[in-house]
Structure 1
Amino acid sequence: MTSCRQVVPLFVDLAAHPVRWRLLNELSGSDYRVRELVTLVGEPQNLVSYHLRLLRNGGLVTATRSSHDGRDSYYHLDLDRCTETLADAGAALHPALQLSTAPTTFDPAGSLAVLFVCTGNSARSAIAEALLRHHADDRVEVVSAGSRPKPAMHPNTVRVLREEFGIDISDRSPRHLDTLDDHRFDAVITLCDKAREVCPEFGDDPRWIHWSIPDPAVSGDTHKDSYPIFRATATEIDTRIRYLLPVLTVGGR
């Protein structure tokens, strides 16, 4: 009897190598630069870069230029794509192993405090604060702030939250990081490459996460021109928050 040779599912093929698995594991929690991943996985830079290229070619990892240092790049794990390829791998082995494509539910154990940081606190971090509060339904204390806050919220921040998510933040103003010196946080999430470098230390060893997301406010000549960029940014932040929620528990990664 002649058997047909089956193609190994994409996720299995990419994740089976120990270095690639470690890279996926590190990137599942935060965006990193190559030199940071070299330190985290303990492998030479040329080897790390080689495996990152394979993960990028497979669509599991993307890279964006740093908005702080354009010579550098941040790598990001596409968790939606991972979910899809994991589901495909299960179904390829047996129909009964078809996996759910939705992130797991959020059930925090105890009180949690989360801080979102960007430079101006008028777009990305404000959007993240509003969306986490919306999804967590007041089960998380969430705050956002900026290293150099703008005088007011960007009009498209207010608009995109109202039109796409039904959230009203029209009465909110940007906050300075200095006002939070005496606060403690379980997780500090930077959404701006520049703010990541200047964010102060907070006590009690919080979980540090970085999301390298370009500032939507620098695109377009008018508020009308930049609105599609704000909508795409809000969608990306919402996706990241949905995958963040399951790990925002005591003892989570």
Structure 2
Amino acid sequence: MASARTVPPSFVRLAAHEVRWRLLSELARSDLRVRELVELVGQPQNLVSYHLRLLRSGGLVAARRSSFDGRDSYYHLDLECCADALAAAGACLHPALRLAPAQPVLAAEDSAAPSVLFVCTGNSARSPIAEALLRHRTGGRAEATSAGSHPKPRLHPGAVRVLRRRYGIDFAGRRPRHLDTMTGRRFDYVISLCDKVREVCPEFVDRQRRLHWSIPDPAADGDDTAGAGGPAFDRTAAEIDTRIRYLLPMLAHTPHREVQP
């Protein structure tokens, strides 16, 4: 029987396959549907689905039903799980090889700041939470903006509450914006957080810099009976914060574009 020292860690066994590595690489960038992954990796759908099942069973990839079309699912990389598995794989080889997350360093204040536009439908919960957290995590050294295709009259109280309580951010004075107000602007990245708005978002950037995070609307959760946001807003903010933290290295290594006023 092989000993634990002679059997490669599960992350290595899963990620070493060429198709699975391609799938992980694509999902590290953006949440995607099966048909999009089929096109990107150039493999038949049944083969892609098979490897996605293996990655899901290994905890590296998760799936979520599309809020735009319930027949579709968006797959996303579980970044925290991958980070832990990769660190553990290094430690299995030698204790000194246990990887620690790198701390991204954004440009100095006198340099061009990376610009990111977050979009969702109402611009009342998910996208303003992302806007606030990116500013918070970068100390204001990122140009964060958000807008919606059908903006609500005001921010959802649950979004205001969770930002203040969990992160000490006062966003109460922020008003939802329409996507039309972004016309003519250019951004380093445009990130959609809503499956519906992904289908209608204008082309502010080229395809490589347009990302998607498939995150359910916390205001649609049944626990929001008081109108001020329940656990759904805590879960949403935590997921967005995780994604923001893993976005920072991408921003630190991206040549930035000049944002037009």
TM-score range, shorter chain: over 0.9
State the match for 2:235 in structure 1: 232
SS in 2 for 1:76: strand
State the match for 1:91 in structure 2: 91
| Contact kept? 1:33, 1:73, Cα under 8 Å | yes
Against the structure 1 CA distance between its residues 114 and 221, is the aligned structure 2 distance closer, same or farther, given a 3 Å change threshold? closer
| Contact kept? 1:103, 1:242, Cα under 8 Å | no
State the match for 1:181 in structure 2: 183
State the match for 1:40 in structure 2: 40
* Aligned-pair CA distance for 1:94: 1.0
State the match for 1:147 in structure 2: 149
Deviating runs (4+, > 2 A) in structure 1?
A: 2-7, 106-111, 203-206, 223-226, 249-252
Q: Whole-Å Cα distance in 1 between the matches of residues 205 and 250 of structure 2?
A: 20
* Aligned-pair CA distance for 1:24: 0.3
SS in 2 for 1:117: strand
- Under a length normalisation based on structure 1, what TM-score does the superposition of the two structures give? 0.94
**1:242 paired residue among 245, 248, 255:** 245
Task: Tell whether 2:67 aligns with 1:67.
Answer: yes
Q: Whole-Å Cα distance in 2 between the matches of residues 186 and 199 of structure 1?
A: 15
- 1:9-158 correspondence to structure 2 within 5 Å: 9-100=9-100, 102-108=101-107, 110-158=112-160
Deviates more, 1:205-214 or 1:110-119: 205-214
| Contact kept? 2:114, 2:142, Cα under 8 Å | yes
Paired residues in the alignment total 250
SS in 2 for 1:198: coil
Coordinate RMSD, CA, aligned: 1.8
Tell me, which stretches of 5 or more residues in structure 2 are unaligned? 257-261
Deviates more, 1:192-201 or 1:205-214: 205-214
| Contact kept? 1:64, 1:75, Cα under 8 Å | yes
* Aligned-pair CA distance for 1:112: 1.6
Q: Whole-Å Cα distance in 1 between the matches of residues 60 and 229 of structure 2?
A: 28
Q: Whole-Å Cα distance in 2 between the matches of residues 158 and 221 of structure 1?
A: 14
| Contact kept? 2:224, 2:230, Cα under 8 Å | no
| Contact kept? 2:122, 2:176, Cα under 8 Å | yes
Q: Whole-Å Cα distance in 2 between the matches of residues 246 and 21 of structure 1?
A: 20
Deviates more, 1:196-205 or 1:153-162: 196-205
State the match for 2:259 in structure 1: none
- State the AA in 2 paired with 1:167: I
Identity of aligned residues (%): 64
- State the AA in 1 paired with 2:79: L
Q: Whole-Å Cα distance in 2 between the matches of residues 4 and 161 of structure 1?
A: 48
**2:226 paired residue among 223, 226, 229:** 223
Against the structure 1 CA distance between its residues 68 and 224, is the aligned structure 2 distance closer, same or farther, given a 3 Å change threshold? same
State the match for 2:3 in structure 1: 4
State the match for 2:163 in structure 1: 161
Deviates more, 1:55-64 or 1:136-145: 136-145
| Contact kept? 2:157, 2:228, Cα under 8 Å | no
Q: Whole-Å Cα distance in 2 between the matches of residues 57 and 146 of structure 1?
A: 35
Q: Whole-Å Cα distance in 2 between the matches of residues 95 and 221 of structure 1?
A: 46
Q: Whole-Å Cα distance in 2 between the matches of residues 251 and 18 of structure 1?
A: 29
Q: Describe the superposition over 1:79-138 as per-residue Cα deviations: whole angstroms up to 9, x where unpaired.
A: 1000111111111111111111x3532324733211000000000000000000111112
- Under a length normalisation based on structure 2, what TM-score does the superposition of the two structures give? 0.91
Against the structure 1 CA distance between its residues 184 and 226, is the aligned structure 2 distance closer, same or farther, given a 3 Å change threshold? same
- State the AA in 1 paired with 2:90: G
- State the AA in 2 paired with 1:77: L
